[in-house]
Amino acid sequence: MEIVHYSVLKEEVCEYLKPDSPGQLLIDGTMGEGGHSEMFLTRFSDLKVIGLDADREIQQIAMKRLEPFGDRVGFRHTWFNEYFRDYPEEVKPDRVLLDLGISVFHYEKSGAGFSFSKDEKLDMRLNRDAGLSAEDIVNDFDEKELADLIYEYGEERLSRRIASAICRERVVNRITSSLQLAELIKKSVPQSYRYGRIHPATRSFQAIRIAVNSELERLDDVVKDALNVLKIGGRLGIITFHSLEDRAVKHFFRDMNKKCICPPELPRCKCGGAQIVNVLTRKPVIPTEEEVKLNAPSRSAKLRVVEKVADFSLRKNLI
C-alpha cells in the first residue's frame, strides 16, 4: 500500500474537532486515503468514524490503511452531499469533517487527466461510473458556455481566448488527453502569460474539474444538510483550497451565526430569528510555514469550524 497524499492541517483539525466525551461519532465526508481518519482513530481509542468517498479506487486504499481499527471505522461509497441529504445512520454525528481538496493520488496515480503535466485520458471524474467527463465538456460545450465556465470556476481572465482556441482545435482534432489540452491552452495565451507564477492551464483545469464533479453545487447542498444532521453541540469543520469554496463556506457560516438573516427592508423577522452556530474560527486557520515547506500543496488550505447551538429547523426559510 503506497500513500501519496499528506492530509493538511492535521494538528489544527484535531484541536478543533477532537471528541469531548466518550463514544462519539466522526463523519469524514471526504476520506480520501484516510489520513485524517487515521489520526483521529489512533489518538482517541473509543471514537468511531464513518468515511465517505465517491472514488472506489482511493477508498480501497483507505480501507487497507484503516483495517487495524476494525469495526470502529465504516466506509460508504457515495458523494457527501447525497449521503447527508438522505442521512442513513441511526446515530447523528458529533463531528463532521469535509476536506475539499483533490488528493495528490488523483494527480499522480489515478490516470484520469487531473494533471496538466501528464499525458492521460481527459476524464477528471471522481466517480467514473457516471456523469460528463472533462473530454465531453471540452469537446461538446459551445464556445460561450465553455468560456463562461472557465471564467466563473477558474477565475481565468483569458477565458474567452482559451475557449476560442479549444473550439478551433476540436474542429480538426478531438481533444482527448490532458497534455493535449494543456499544450493547447499554453499556446493560446500571450508569451508573457506562459511563464508566470503558475502554469497557464492551472485555472482552466481547475474550472473543468469543478464542473465535471459539480463541486460547488455539492458544497452548497452539503453545508446545509451536514449541519442539519449534526447533533446540538457538535462541530463541523471544512477545509477549502480555492477562493470560490472558501467564500461560500465563510458566507454560510456567517449567516448561520446571525440571529436574523432577513433583508434590512423587511419590517419584521421572517427567518425564524435563531442563531444556529457559533463560529469558532473568526479568521480561517491556515498551515504553518513549516507545514508548507514539508507539503507544498497545503499552502492554499483554509480551515473554518462552527459549533451547532440550535436546531437547524428554526431557520424556516432554509428547510
Task: Give the pLDDT confidence of 215-226 residue by residue, as tens digits.
Answer: 999 999 999 999
Q: Are 193 and 200 in contact (CB under 8 A)?
A: yes
Within the chain, what is the greatest distance between any pair of CA atoms?
63
Backbone φ, ψ for residue 139 (5° rounding): -95, -20
Return the pLDDT at 139. Answer: 97
Mean pLDDT over 201-215 rounds to 95
Mean pLDDT over 74-97 rounds to 96
Give the whole-angstrom CA distance, residue 257 versus residue 246. 16
Give the strand pairing for 277-279 and 302-308: antiparallel
Q: What percent of the chain has pLDDT over 70?
A: 96
Strands (E), 136-295: 235-240, 277-279
Give the whole-angstrom CA distance, residue 164 versus residue 313. 47
Burial 283-294 (b: 16+ CB within 10 A, else e): ebbbbeeebbee
Q: Are 40 and 16 in contact (CB under 8 A)?
A: no
Q: What percent of the chain has pLDDT over 90?
A: 76
Please tell me which of 120-129, 134-143, 307-316 the model is most confident about, judged by mean pLDDT.
134-143
Return the pLDDT at 186. Answer: 94
- State the pTM of this model: 0.90
Give the whole-angstrom CA distance, residue 94 versus residue 26. 6
Q: Are 252 and 312 in contact (CB under 8 A)?
A: no
Return the pLDDT at 14. Answer: 97
Taking phi over 0 as left and psi of -120 to 50 as alpha, with beta for the rest, 295 belongs to: beta
Q: Is the pLDDT of residue 204 over 70?
A: yes
Instruction: Express each pLDDT in 102-112 by its tens digit.
Output: 888 888 888 88
137: Cβ contacts below 8 Å, ≥ 6 apart: 146, 149, 208, 211, 212
Q: Are 246 and 240 in contact (CB under 8 A)?
A: yes
DSSP letter assigned to residue 97: E
| pLDDT category of residue 189 using cuts at 50, 70 and 90 | very high
At position 262, the amino acid (one-letter code) is C
| pLDDT category of residue 319 using cuts at 50, 70 and 90 | very low
CA of residue 192 relative to chain centroid, distance: 32
3-state secondary structure of 233: coil
Q: Are 87 and 96 in contact (CB under 8 A)?
A: no
| pLDDT category of residue 127 using cuts at 50, 70 and 90 | confident
Going from the N-terminus, what domains does the chain have, and what CATH number goes with each? 10-105+216-318 (3.40.50.150), 127-212 (1.10.150.170)
